[in-house]
A = this chain, B = another copy of it.
């Protein structure tokens, strides 16, 4: 006989779809629901309410949203939600559902998913890095989620690793995600092709303008030396950013999530090797381990579902 346990709902708001789950006390996924993300803020709140109601009786409701999210659950702005500005998701959904709703940044949710029911269970000092179109992050320090004064901690994709580097859409130069995200990987491969190389990568992609990270991976798996070099250079940049985070936070574990984690075995050995060469004072410390995330597409939603527990841990 199994205990029914708690049922916790979590929804991850993405640029194209809202992905909802119900998890049990152990973090296992009991239900999944997907809906298109509406553009209008009022419709977004309504979709989140309808999804939650569709899950029936649940013990808590959490939502993960992209972009800069305040501690009060307000989306200040989000590159993936163009019509959303200063949207008080927590307050409005809470009012609509007549219950408490927890809201966090989606990368922080992905981190919480790994910490509460993924590869970081039981760890106290963890940084989760989501490598996708950009780079997001979530930080656990001494057993607590680091949110920062405004809730904007973990915007690690915009750590500057070369102030004279390429312009980032954020307006700054040389942000880490210009070197170490999925789009950076593809951009590096396209540069190679522009320079007259990268034939195997072009063949995999069909056309130079269609090159994405998966085409570089595909050529690399076939042993193409140029693709392997692009991936190695990419992994070096990933390691630069991880080493920087190690210097600031001294975590015991890095978890790599996001889109690139699904084929993470392509990257992990080189990231680990470069990281070992870039860690400060490597001979004087146990090295943080680097693992792939357990949760994939559902990470944000699972983490959102765990938010109520995290708040309770923090004594809020």
- A: residues with CB less than 8 A from B are 68, 76-77, 124-125, 137, 139, 141-142, 144, 146-156, 158-164, 170, 172, 175, 236-237, 240, 243-245, 247-252, 278, 280-281, 284-286, 288
Complex: chain B residue closest to A243, CB-CB: B160
Task: Evaluate contact between B251 and A149: CB separation under 8 angstroms.
Answer: yes
Q: Is the CB of B163 within 8 A of A162?
A: yes
How far is the CB of A281 from the nearest CB of chain B, in Å? 6
Provide a sorted-by-A list of 18 A–B residue pairs whose CB atoms are within 8 angstroms.
A68-B284, A68-B285, A76-B285, A77-B281, A141-B153, A142-B146, A144-B144, A148-B249, A149-B286, A151-B250, A153-B248, A158-B280, A162-B162, A162-B163, A163-B237, A172-B278, A175-B280, A248-B249
Q: Which residues of chain B are near A156, meaning CB under 8 Å?
A: 247-248
Residues of B within 8 Å of A162, CB to CB, are 161-164
Q: Kindly report which residue of chain B lies nearest to residue A170, judged by CB atoms.
A: B280
> Looking at chain A's contact residues, is the secondary structure mostly helix, strand, loop, or mixed?
loop
B280 contacts A247, CB within 8 Å? no
Kindly list chain B residues whose C-beta atoms are within 8 Å of the C-beta of A285: 68, 76, 150, 152
Q: Are A154 and B281 in contact (CB under 8 A)?
A: no
Q: A15 vs B148: C-alpha distance in the bound complex, in angstroms? A: 34
List the B side residues contacting A286 at CB < 8 Å. 149-150
Q: Which residues of B contact A151 (CB under 8 A)?
A: 250
Q: In the bound complex, do residue B161 and residue A248 qualify as a contact, i.e. CB atoms below 8 Å apart?
A: no
